[in-house]
Structure 1
Amino acid sequence: MPLIKRSLTLHGHRTSLALEPDFWEVVDAYTEQKRQSLAGLIAEIDDNRDPDDPLSSAVRVWALQQAKARMA
């Protein structure tokens, strides 16, 4: 499955994040439901991740947790 790259500003710096479409689907649904910006959500995930973990991995884990919570 190809990665989809999106650009955003994170803590005042331009960056990009590449994820598989299934993960973007969870992120997009969440931001739409909560009426939150993509940059705002990614900043929250970034602020709460272990600094040794890549941001893309942290977003994937966050998306998995969201999907699991919906199943509960």
Structure 2
Amino acid sequence: MLKKHSTTLHGHRTSITLEDAFWQELQRLAGQRGLPLAGLIAEVDDQRPDGTNLSSALRLHVLAALKTEAASATSRQTA
């Protein structure tokens, strides 16, 4: 289910609409890196191409991170 989440991004409040699973993964990824969630969101925001929706960029960031983790786990198992 989609849910609106509010955060502060570059000094101003913004709302992001994401499924709970993506929001939870963003929180986990931020924790792994020792970043506040707003810091991770700001990084994704800074790197997203012009015209790209922030919610979509966050979903793609989560997907890329999960794919990297899965590839890492696979290579450890085969080593």
Using structure 1 for the length normalisation, give the TM-score.
0.90
Instruction: Say what the alpha-carbon RMSD is for the aligned residues.
Output: 0.9
User: What 5-or-longer segments of structure 1 have no aligned partner?
Assistant: none
SS of equivalent to 2:38:
helix
Greater share of helix:
2
Matches within 5 A, 1:1-72: 2-72=1-71
Q: Which amino acid aligns with 2:4?
A: K
User: What 5-or-longer segments of structure 2 have no aligned partner?
Assistant: 72-79
Kindly indicate whether structure 1 or structure 2 has the higher relative contact order, using CA contacts under 8 Å at least 6 residues apart.
1
Runs ≥4 in structure 1, deviation > 6 angstroms? none
Using structure 2 for the length normalisation, give the TM-score.
0.83
Larger radius of gyration: 2
Length, aligned pairs only: 71
Do the aligned partners of 1:26 and 1:66 also contact (CA within 8 Å) in 2?
A: no
